[in-house]
Amino acid sequence: MEKQHYVFIDFEFTMPEGRGNPVGFYPEIIEVGFVSVVNDSIKEQFSSFVAPSKFKTLTDRCKKFLSVQQRQVESGMPFTELVDLFKKMEADYPMTTVVTWGNMDMKVLKQNCQKAGVEFPFKGKQVDLCMEYKRFFGDQNQTGLWKAVQAYGKEGTGKHHRALDDALTTYNIFKLIEKDKSYMKKHEPTTIGDRIDLSKVLNHLAL
Protein backbone atom coordinates (compact mmCIF):
# COMPACT_ATOMS: atom_id res chain seq x y z
CA MET A 1 0.00 0.00 0.00
CA GLU A 2 1.34 3.44 -0.98
CA LYS A 3 2.28 5.55 2.03
CA GLN A 4 0.29 8.76 2.43
CA HIS A 5 2.78 11.60 2.71
CA TYR A 6 2.04 15.23 3.50
CA VAL A 7 4.67 17.94 3.74
CA PHE A 8 3.66 21.20 5.42
CA ILE A 9 5.93 23.99 4.18
CA ASP A 10 6.50 27.60 5.10
CA PHE A 11 9.01 30.04 3.60
CA GLU A 12 10.14 33.50 4.61
CA PHE A 13 11.23 35.87 1.83
CA THR A 14 13.34 38.92 1.18
CA MET A 15 11.44 42.21 1.15
CA PRO A 16 12.09 45.55 -0.57
CA GLU A 17 12.69 48.57 1.66
CA GLY A 18 9.58 50.46 0.58
CA ARG A 19 6.14 49.36 -0.47
CA GLY A 20 6.91 49.50 -4.19
CA ASN A 21 9.26 46.93 -5.71
CA PRO A 22 12.49 48.36 -7.17
CA VAL A 23 13.26 47.54 -10.79
CA GLY A 24 14.14 43.87 -11.17
CA PHE A 25 13.34 42.94 -7.59
CA TYR A 26 11.68 39.62 -6.80
CA PRO A 27 11.31 37.89 -3.41
CA GLU A 28 13.86 35.22 -2.62
CA ILE A 29 13.45 32.43 -0.07
CA ILE A 30 15.68 33.09 2.94
CA GLU A 31 14.21 30.62 5.44
CA VAL A 32 12.50 27.26 5.11
CA GLY A 33 10.60 25.16 7.60
CA PHE A 34 8.73 21.97 6.85
CA VAL A 35 7.04 19.10 8.61
CA SER A 36 6.99 15.70 6.90
CA VAL A 37 4.02 13.54 7.91
CA VAL A 38 3.64 9.91 6.85
CA ASN A 39 0.39 8.09 7.63
CA ASP A 40 -0.55 10.72 10.25
CA SER A 41 2.82 10.49 12.02
CA ILE A 42 5.50 13.20 11.99
CA LYS A 43 8.64 11.73 10.44
CA GLU A 44 10.79 14.85 10.11
CA GLN A 45 10.95 18.50 11.07
CA PHE A 46 13.38 20.67 9.13
CA SER A 47 14.50 24.26 9.55
CA SER A 48 17.21 26.24 7.81
CA PHE A 49 18.10 29.67 6.55
CA VAL A 50 18.63 29.93 2.79
CA ALA A 51 21.24 32.22 1.26
CA PRO A 52 19.76 34.62 -1.32
CA SER A 53 21.66 34.72 -4.61
CA LYS A 54 20.35 37.82 -6.39
CA PHE A 55 19.57 40.39 -3.68
CA LYS A 56 22.07 39.30 -1.07
CA THR A 57 21.83 42.28 1.29
CA LEU A 58 18.69 42.25 3.42
CA THR A 59 16.76 45.48 3.75
CA ASP A 60 16.19 47.00 7.18
CA ARG A 61 12.48 46.40 6.71
CA CYS A 62 13.06 42.70 6.08
CA LYS A 63 15.40 42.29 9.07
CA LYS A 64 12.97 44.07 11.38
CA PHE A 65 9.83 42.29 10.17
CA LEU A 66 11.36 38.80 10.32
CA SER A 67 13.74 39.44 13.26
CA VAL A 68 16.57 38.04 11.16
CA GLN A 69 20.21 39.09 10.83
CA GLN A 70 22.32 39.35 7.68
CA ARG A 71 24.87 36.83 8.97
CA GLN A 72 22.13 34.24 9.53
CA VAL A 73 21.03 34.14 5.90
CA GLU A 74 24.59 34.37 4.62
CA SER A 75 25.36 31.12 6.46
CA GLY A 76 22.22 29.45 5.12
CA MET A 77 22.01 26.59 2.64
CA PRO A 78 22.19 27.36 -1.11
CA PHE A 79 18.82 27.49 -2.84
CA THR A 80 19.79 24.67 -5.21
CA GLU A 81 20.50 22.46 -2.20
CA LEU A 82 17.00 23.15 -0.91
CA VAL A 83 15.52 22.14 -4.28
CA ASP A 84 17.56 18.91 -4.25
CA LEU A 85 16.24 18.17 -0.75
CA PHE A 86 12.66 18.51 -1.98
CA LYS A 87 13.39 16.36 -5.05
CA LYS A 88 14.74 13.58 -2.86
CA MET A 89 11.64 13.79 -0.67
CA GLU A 90 9.40 13.50 -3.74
CA ALA A 91 11.42 10.49 -4.92
CA ASP A 92 11.11 8.79 -1.53
CA TYR A 93 7.37 9.47 -1.35
CA PRO A 94 5.80 9.65 -4.85
CA MET A 95 2.36 10.33 -3.33
CA THR A 96 3.48 13.58 -1.69
CA THR A 97 0.88 16.29 -1.04
CA VAL A 98 2.34 19.74 -0.36
CA VAL A 99 0.31 21.87 2.06
CA THR A 100 0.89 25.61 2.56
CA TRP A 101 -1.08 28.47 4.10
CA GLY A 102 -1.88 30.66 1.11
CA ASN A 103 -0.48 30.38 -2.42
CA MET A 104 2.53 32.68 -2.06
CA ASP A 105 4.99 29.99 -0.92
CA MET A 106 4.61 27.87 -4.05
CA LYS A 107 4.50 30.95 -6.31
CA VAL A 108 7.81 32.20 -4.94
CA LEU A 109 9.36 28.72 -5.05
CA LYS A 110 8.40 28.39 -8.72
CA GLN A 111 9.76 31.85 -9.53
CA ASN A 112 13.01 31.19 -7.65
CA CYS A 113 13.41 27.91 -9.55
CA GLN A 114 12.92 29.73 -12.87
CA LYS A 115 15.46 32.40 -11.94
CA ALA A 116 17.98 29.76 -10.84
CA GLY A 117 17.38 27.63 -13.94
CA VAL A 118 16.37 24.54 -11.97
CA GLU A 119 13.31 22.31 -12.23
CA PHE A 120 10.41 22.83 -9.83
CA PRO A 121 10.74 19.92 -7.38
CA PHE A 122 7.11 18.95 -6.75
CA LYS A 123 4.95 17.00 -9.19
CA GLY A 124 2.16 15.91 -6.84
CA LYS A 125 -0.88 17.62 -5.37
CA GLN A 126 -0.56 21.07 -3.82
CA VAL A 127 -3.10 22.28 -1.25
CA ASP A 128 -3.69 25.90 -0.23
CA LEU A 129 -5.01 25.33 3.29
CA CYS A 130 -6.11 28.96 3.58
CA MET A 131 -8.58 28.42 0.71
CA GLU A 132 -9.74 25.14 2.27
CA TYR A 133 -10.35 27.01 5.52
CA LYS A 134 -12.30 29.77 3.76
CA ARG A 135 -14.46 27.27 1.86
CA PHE A 136 -15.18 25.21 4.95
CA PHE A 137 -16.14 28.14 7.18
CA GLY A 138 -17.57 30.42 4.49
CA ASP A 139 -15.07 33.16 5.34
CA GLN A 140 -14.91 35.67 2.48
CA ASN A 141 -11.84 37.49 3.77
CA GLN A 142 -8.19 36.52 3.60
CA THR A 143 -7.45 34.89 6.93
CA GLY A 144 -4.02 35.01 8.53
CA LEU A 145 -2.44 31.79 9.75
CA TRP A 146 -2.39 32.66 13.42
CA LYS A 147 -5.80 34.32 13.31
CA ALA A 148 -7.18 31.06 11.93
CA VAL A 149 -5.70 28.92 14.68
CA GLN A 150 -6.90 31.38 17.33
CA ALA A 151 -10.42 31.02 15.92
CA TYR A 152 -10.18 27.43 17.09
CA GLY A 153 -9.34 28.64 20.59
CA LYS A 154 -5.71 27.57 20.12
CA GLU A 155 -2.41 29.41 19.84
CA GLY A 156 0.22 29.12 17.14
CA THR A 157 3.36 27.08 17.71
CA GLY A 158 6.45 29.06 18.71
CA LYS A 159 6.90 32.42 17.03
CA HIS A 160 4.98 33.80 14.06
CA HIS A 161 7.06 34.42 10.92
CA ARG A 162 9.59 31.75 11.82
CA ALA A 163 9.33 29.18 9.05
CA LEU A 164 9.27 25.95 11.07
CA ASP A 165 6.90 27.37 13.69
CA ASP A 166 4.50 28.48 10.95
CA ALA A 167 4.78 25.08 9.22
CA LEU A 168 3.90 23.35 12.50
CA THR A 169 0.98 25.72 13.01
CA THR A 170 -0.23 24.94 9.47
CA TYR A 171 -0.07 21.22 10.30
CA ASN A 172 -2.06 21.79 13.50
CA ILE A 173 -4.79 23.70 11.64
CA PHE A 174 -4.88 20.97 9.00
CA LYS A 175 -5.59 18.38 11.70
CA LEU A 176 -8.35 20.54 13.21
CA ILE A 177 -10.04 21.11 9.84
CA GLU A 178 -9.83 17.42 8.92
CA LYS A 179 -11.37 16.54 12.29
CA ASP A 180 -14.23 18.98 11.64
CA LYS A 181 -14.76 17.59 8.13
CA SER A 182 -14.93 14.08 9.54
CA TYR A 183 -17.44 15.18 12.17
CA MET A 184 -19.63 16.90 9.58
CA LYS A 185 -19.70 13.78 7.40
CA LYS A 186 -20.81 11.65 10.35
CA HIS A 187 -23.45 14.15 11.44
CA GLU A 188 -25.04 15.32 8.20
CA PRO A 189 -28.48 16.89 8.74
CA THR A 190 -31.33 14.41 8.38
CA THR A 191 -33.88 14.93 5.65
CA ILE A 192 -37.62 15.11 6.34
CA GLY A 193 -37.85 11.58 4.98
CA ASP A 194 -35.47 10.41 7.70
CA ARG A 195 -37.53 12.04 10.43
CA ILE A 196 -40.97 10.68 9.57
CA ASP A 197 -42.31 7.49 8.07
CA LEU A 198 -43.76 8.71 4.76
CA SER A 199 -45.48 5.39 4.09
CA LYS A 200 -47.72 5.91 7.11
CA VAL A 201 -48.56 9.44 5.97
CA LEU A 202 -49.47 8.24 2.46
CA ASN A 203 -51.59 5.40 3.82
CA HIS A 204 -53.44 7.85 6.03
CA LEU A 205 -54.11 10.20 3.10
CA ALA A 206 -55.42 7.31 1.01
CA LEU A 207 -58.19 6.55 3.53
DSSP secondary structure, the chain, as one string: -PPPEEEEEEEEE---SSSSPPTT----EEEEEEEEEETTEEEEEEEEEEE-SSS-SPPHHHHHHHT--HHHHHTSEEHHHHHHHHHHHHHH-TTEEEEESSSHHHHHHHHHHHHHT---S--SEEEEHHHHHHHHHT--S---HHHHHHHTT---SS-TT-HHHHHHHHHHHHHHHHHHHHHHHHTPPPPHHHHS-HHHHHHHHH-
Whether the predicted pLDDT of 205 surpasses 50: no
Per the annotation, the verdict on 12 as an active-site residue is: yes
Rounded average pLDDT over 97-110: 97
Domain count for the chain: 1
CATH number of the domain at 45, please: 3.30.420.10
Q: Domain range spanning residue 92?
A: 5-206
Predicted model pTM = 0.84
Point out the catalytic residue in the list 5, 12, 28, 90. 12
Question: Percent of the chain, pLDDT > 70?
Answer: 83
Point out the catalytic residue in the list 5, 17, 44, 161. 161
Per the annotation, the verdict on 161 as an active-site residue is: yes
Whether the predicted pLDDT of 188 surpasses 70: no
